[in-house]
């Protein structure tokens, strides 16, 4: 092993300073290639040739620094996703893929409207799945992540870059070909590479896990993702809440994990406006910026499961509310 590592080092040191795309940090790329060669048996020279065609994107750096979840108040963020068109298209997507959605519900026990809403929020039902090369996005963010979180977030994207290269090797894909979002999320459901490797499924049995163009695989993969993260069949997701008395500061959260019990809220004058949930249900309380003032919402376990897709309250709330509107348009019909 020691001789193998030394060989990799010699190969990498022998590459010219400009061997990689000029905008990437050559030293960091060399270190990453060495890791991929020693840990996973990649050919260091071949991988260096691949990275010579990878480009840093300043546009990606700009976008990652100001995601809509951070910079827009809730009522503006909501207006992006809860629209008549997105609701209608969601109902149409459900009708067009009714068989796959029904099978996914039967196999994984998840809510059909939430499967549809996640794909609707992520890519408008596959219509806007991203135009950035995934390897460009991941390399840019792995080696050039901006701001105060650069180390932690850069490490995350370096890990995703590792998973992406493993994924393309396993799936026999050219790593320079797959397209996705500016954050490296892929396909109709916008899976990150580690999620693809662990949770994407070949739901139609055609021998490929194609989440880019195959709605069956996208639907089955989203359902498997929710099931894996602990979705509870037929359980509540959210409820608007009424607050009586002082603002319940001790219970308000900016994270999503339901660390309280519903009885804790009711004892403090916070009441869910939807019934059917017991006093011992794990719960979290959120305050969001409405058009005319604060809105209070209670999120339950399944709301937290949605957030495993994207750990921001506004994102999970958009999915939850879009799912409700799509189901209403279908007349409350099941899968």
Exactly one of 69, 98, 113, 122 is catalytic; name it: 122
Report the C-alpha gap between 135 and 153 in whole angstroms.
16
* Active site annotation includes 122: yes
**pTM, 2 dp:** 0.90
| Per-residue confidence in pLDDT tens, the chain, 335 aa | 544 444 454 455 555 444 554 489 999 999 999 999 999 999 999 999 999 999 999 999 999 987 766 778 999 999 999 999 999 999 999 999 999 999 999 999 999 999 999 999 999 999 999 999 999 999 999 999 998 889 999 999 999 999 999 999 999 999 999 999 999 999 999 999 999 999 999 999 999 999 999 999 999 999 999 999 999 999 999 999 999 988 999 999 777 899 999 999 999 999 999 999 999 999 999 999 999 999 999 999 999 999 999 999 999 999 999 999 999 999 865 55
Helices (H), the chain: 2-13, 26-40, 44-51, 58-64, 68-71, 74-81, 84-96, 98-108, 112-123, 134-144, 150-170, 193-199, 215-228, 262-267, 301-307, 313-329
User: Could you identify the residue written with the tokens 């809860």?
Assistant: 82
Distance from C-alpha of 10 to C-alpha of 4, rounded to nearest angstrom: 10
Task: Specify the length of the chain in residues.
Answer: 335
Q: In angstroms, rounded to a whole number, what is the distance separating the alpha carbons of residues 150 and 85?
A: 37
Q: How many CA atoms lie within 13 A of 27 on its CB side?
A: 0
């Amino acid at each position: 092993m020691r001789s193998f590592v030394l060989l990799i080092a010699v190969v990498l040191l022998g590459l010219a300073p400009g061997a990689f795309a000029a905008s990437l940090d050559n030293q960091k790329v060399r270190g990453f290639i060495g890791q991929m060669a020693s840990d996973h048996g990649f050919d260091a020279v071949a991988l260096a040739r691949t990275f010579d065609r990878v480009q840093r994107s300043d546009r990606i750096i700009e976008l990652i620094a100001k995601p809509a979840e951070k910079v827009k108040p809730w009522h503006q963020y909501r207006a992006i996703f809860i629209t008549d068109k997105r609701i209608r298209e969601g109902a149409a997507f459900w009708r067009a893929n009714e068989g796959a959605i029904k099978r996914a519900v039967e196999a994984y026990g998840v809510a059909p409207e939430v499967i549809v809403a996640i794909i609707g929020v992520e890519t408008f039902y596959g219509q806007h799945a991203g135009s950035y090369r995934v390897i460009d996005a991941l390399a840019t963010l792995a080696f050039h992540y901006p701001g105060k979180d650069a180390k932690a977030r850069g490490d995350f994207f370096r890990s995703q870059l590792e998973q992406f290269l493993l994924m393309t090797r396993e799936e026999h894909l050219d790593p320079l070909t797959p397209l996705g979002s500016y954050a490296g999320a892929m396909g109709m459901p916008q899976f990150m590479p580690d999620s693809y490797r662990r949770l994407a499924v070949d739901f139609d049995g055609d021998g490929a896990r194609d989440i880019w163009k195959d709605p069956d695989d996208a639907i089955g993969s989203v359902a498997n993702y929710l099931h894996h993260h602990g979705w509870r069949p037929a359980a509540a997701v959210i409820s608007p809440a009424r607050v009586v008395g002082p603002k319940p500061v001790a219970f308000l959260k900016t994270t999503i994990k339901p660390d309280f019990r519903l009885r804790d809220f009711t004892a403090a004058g916070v009441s869910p406006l939807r019934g059917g949930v017991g006093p011992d249900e794990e719960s979290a309380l959120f305050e969001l910026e409405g058009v005319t003032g604060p809105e209070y919402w209670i999120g339950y376990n399944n709301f937290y499961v949605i957030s495993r897709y994207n750990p921001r309250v506004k994102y999970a709330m958009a999915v939850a509310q879009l799912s409700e509107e799509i189901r209403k348009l279908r007349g409350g019909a099941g899968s």
